[in-house]
Amino acid sequence: MTEEKHFREIKTFGRRDGRPLSKRQKHLVDALLPEISLPTDTPICRDDLFGAVEEIWLEIGFGGGEHLVRNARRHSDVGMIGAEPFIDGVAKALTGIDENNLRNVRLHADDVRQVLPNMEKAMIDRAFILFPDPWPKRRQQKRRLIQQAFLDELAHVLRPGAMVRFATDVASYADEALWNFNRHPEFDWQAGRADDWRHDPPDHEPTRYQLKKLGDCKPVWFEFIRR
């Protein structure tokens, strides 16, 4: 098995389904999702997705879509791409997109690693990885998203100078993610003092998971710049 194939087969998320969807959610999954889904078998180009936008932001693992939808509402001149394999979260995001009549959002209802290779080089201006599945048990940690192969693909789609924001409330994941980012040649950590990673960024939109406080430490915030 090649290293690349092994990387692709590692699941970095748990179960994909949860409680049954409401009638409205089922309708949105059937009708709206196909309209705003990213293509999976053709190149994904910046201009083809949104036309004339100032920037394109990518949220990897958007959970219930709170952060994604609020940012799309606040920044109508930004194209928002969200990837999330959990169907309940996708349905919640679709509800917010529909209720707010958002036209600047595209979704991928599965693993982001399926579409990263198809994306145009340097098409993303900001990326968010907020509270990804922490896989806290030692035997599970190989499933964590932040690995060198993933960072290679992420760096490819980020423009030079693009910001990546990573957050977790699991101490071991914070240590591992920081180590992986710092040893990657394409990312520079932006922290100059402890307060830079201890407090929510001023422009952050809280997520439902974050408010549950399920981790073993207070949220840690790391921001990196693509070289």
Which of the following is catalytic: 110, 111, 133, 169?
133
The token duo for 117 is: 């290779």
Bridge partners of 167?
Answer: 130, 221
Judge contact between 53 and 126, C-beta under 8 A.
no
Helix (H, G, I), strand (E, B) or coil at 109: coil
**133 catalytic, yes or no?**
yes
Q: b/e per residue, 179-218, with b = 16+ CB within 10 A?
A: ebbeebebbeeeeeeeeebeeeeeebbebebbeeeebeee
Q: Which residues are catalytic?
A: 133
